[in-house]
A = this chain, B = another copy of it.
Amino acid sequence: MKTENIGLVGVGRMGANMARRLRDRGWTLSAVCDSKFKSAQALAKEVGARAVRTPAEVAAASGSVLTVVSDDAAMREIFQEGPKGLLCHAQGRLFINCATVSPDVHREIERAAKRLGALSLEACMASSIPQAREGSLYLMTGGSAKALQRARPILEDLSCSMRHIGPAGSAATVKALVNLVMNINTAALAEGLGLGAALGLDGTMLREVFSQTGAASRVLTTDGEDMQNREHSCFFSAAHAAKDTRIALELATALGLDLPLATATLGQFRRMITLGLGDLDKSGIAELTFPGRAAQPRVSPAAPRRIRSKAKR
């Protein structure tokens, strides 16, 4: 039996697909809100929920609230104690926070929730949109045993694998490291394939050789073909990759660690933003390293227009 009404704050593609999955699994979706009200309305209609204007209304209508917003500022905004914020109706609620944000934000929110009689759990997602829809996310949790216990039935319907990392903030820390390595590997792959293209090698052959050798990686599987074909429909944007890489670098800097690869990778994703390519998928970093693409307009001025946007596998 599904004992909680679930609310959603943040109707991006991840949040929307998690809501669809939960509805499919028999949960009642109570209320959804988003800074774009039309997005909230569309999803609400689809999953049988109510679209509301404020996080406070979501909390008022729900036992558990999933939050899937974009960054630290958005998290602090929705978790206000004022009349519009989630913490305005905190007593007895469970907040499950799925955004990739700084570890400190998770700790702040857990403290505030506790003070107001609510539970808070971080549930970092190390997967993408298709996995959200299919309930096969890889989830890392951080928070109290009590919050985890209450969230478990919901999270089990969203994930194929859950790993409890430790206290609030710890999952975000691990997620930052996952994304750091993923982003660097993505930038690396773009350099290898880009240089291969410049040397006149066949990209399909090169990817096949990479897959059999020490160059193999998860991002080769997820992004390699897209880099070759300029298929950069956004599943994880370059702007997000820049943000995550920056979070990890700030952690490193605070500890006095010098991470030159992370620094170079942040530089590349920032360069994409500067070139107006920040909304492309992270695979779009290939636009910087393949000959005749976006970063080299004098070689091929029409190149960026050829970027395609069909659905990703």
Contact = CB atoms under 8 A, between A and B. Distances in A.
Nearest to A260: B264
Contacts of A187: 184, 261
Contacts of A252: 191, 195, 198
Given A195-B248, A257-B194, A289-B257, A213 B263 contact: no
A263 B264 contact: yes
| Most B CB within 10 A of own CB, among A126, A210, A260 | A260
B163 A181 contact: no
Interface stretch (A58-66, A83-91, A170-178): A170-178
A198 B252 CA distance: 8
A149 interface: no
Nearest to A138: B212
Given A178-B210, A179-B214, A209-B163, A260 B268 contact: yes
A175 B205 CA distance: 12
A17 to B, nearest CB: 18
A268 B264 contact: no
A165 interface: yes
Nearest to A223: B214
A47 interface: no
A38 interface: no
Contacts of A213: 126-127, 138, 178, 182, 218
B184 A261 contact: yes
A184 B188 contact: yes
A94 to B, nearest CB: 24
Given A214-B218, A217-B217, A252-B198, A181 B189 contact: yes
Pairs of residues from A and B, 3 with the lowest C-beta to C-beta distance, nearest first? A182-B214, A184-B188, A217-B217
23 contacts: A126-B214, A127-B213, A138-B213, A161-B212, A165-B209, A170-B201, A177-B215, A179-B214, A180-B192, A181-B188, A181-B210, A181-B217, A184-B187, A184-B261, A185-B185, A187-B261, A188-B188, A188-B261, A191-B262, A195-B248, A198-B252, A214-B218, A214-B222
Interface of A: 126-127, 138, 140, 161, 163, 165, 170, 173-174, 177-182, 184-185, 187-189, 191-192, 194-196, 198-199, 201, 205-206, 208-210, 212-219, 222, 248, 251-252, 255, 257, 259-265, 267-268, 289, 291
Given A178-B210, A180-B192, A185-B215, 17 more contacts: A170-B201, A177-B192, A177-B195, A177-B206, A177-B215, A178-B213, A178-B215, A182-B214, A182-B215, A184-B185, A184-B187, A184-B191, A191-B252, A191-B262, A194-B259, A195-B251, A217-B218
